[in-house]
Structure formats: C-alpha cells, structure tokens
Amino acid sequence: MATEYAVIAGGCFWCTEAVFKDVIGVESVESGYTGGARPNPTYEQVCSGATGHAEAIRIGFDPAQVSYGDLLDISFATHDPTQLNRQGNDIGTQYRSAIFPANPEQEAEAIAAIARAQEGLSDPVVTTIEPLKEWYAAEGYHQDYWEGAGQRNGYCMAVIPPKLQKLRKSFANRVKSS
C-alpha cells in the first residue's frame, strides 16, 4: 500500500516531530510550515507571526499499520488542544493547534477526532481544520532536532520527555521503543 501523509500542527514542531518518530507505521516526519500566505517562509519570518503559517509536521505513514485517525488521537493526547494559539510558553498563531486534511476522508476523520478529544476535556477544543496549502520544509537544522541539538536544548529537555512518556503510557501498543 502506498504511503499516505498527514499534516498537523500542535505547537513547536521539534516537540511534535519527536513524538511521531516513535510511532509504529510512521515512515517519515518532516518539520515545516503551512497555512500561511508568504511563499518560502523562513523560520524567523514564521516565528514573527506575520506570515500566518503554523509550525507543523508532515507525517508519512503506512495506513496498514497506523490509521490517520490514530495519528490524530495521538496528536490530541500529546499536546493541549484547548490552548488557543499557544502551547505552554510558545505563544502566537504559529503555535496553533490545527489539522490540514489532504482530502474529504481526512477532513471527516479530523472532525471525528476533535469530537473524541472533546469527550475527555472540560475546556473546549480549539483545534482548527484548515485547508492544506503549500507545504514548505523547515530549514535542515530543524529536521530530526530531538535526536541532535534537542538533547542540549533546555526547552526541549523540559517539554519533550513528558510528551514521550504520555505517548508510551497511552499508546504503548503503538510505539517503536519503550
């Protein structure tokens, strides 16, 4: 079966990338930018909030091993979908919680995943479903960040391990490592 792609945003892409690289059936995770207006934005431009882009990840996955809905459920479990335009100390529209479906089937799954996520939360889920626009890969130093520079980044050391623990606890049968 051919690789399918999911594009999601849930705060800092270093953090979301680290989570999804550990999921069975995920073949690739690329950090990048989507949802904005400026062509070929740089990290600095996106961080300014002026381009309208979200820090997002594009997940290549084998649908025979992990479904699009499962990926969305993992996303909701490993970030706070009730925070508008932020995740923790990361504030701005570039850190929004968003799903960028590639087709009507993914859009239907996104609507269902938001409803599932809302069931366990008292605050409203603010995750948006946005049209999938042009995808721009982030600069090379952002790719595979957790495996390299992220290990020396205090922010990542504070934020990523709890996300990975939550993934391994809530989705133990879905992770590559334990």
Distance CA 93, CA 90 (A): 10
Q: What is the dihedral of CA 62, 68, 73, 79, to 10 degrees?
A: 80
Q: What angle do CA 117, 169, 88 make, to 5 degrees?
A: 55
Kindly provide the residue ranges of all beta strands, DSSP E only, lying in the chain, ordered along the sequence. 4-10, 26-34, 54-61, 86-87, 90-91, 97-99, 128-129, 136-137
Calculate the alpha carbon distances from 7 to 17, 20, 96, 151 in Å.
11, 12, 13, 25
In 3-state terms, what secondary structure has residue 100? coil
Look up tokens 């989705």; give the residue: 171
Supply the residues annotated as catalytic.
Answer: 12
Look up tokens 């701005």; give the residue: 92
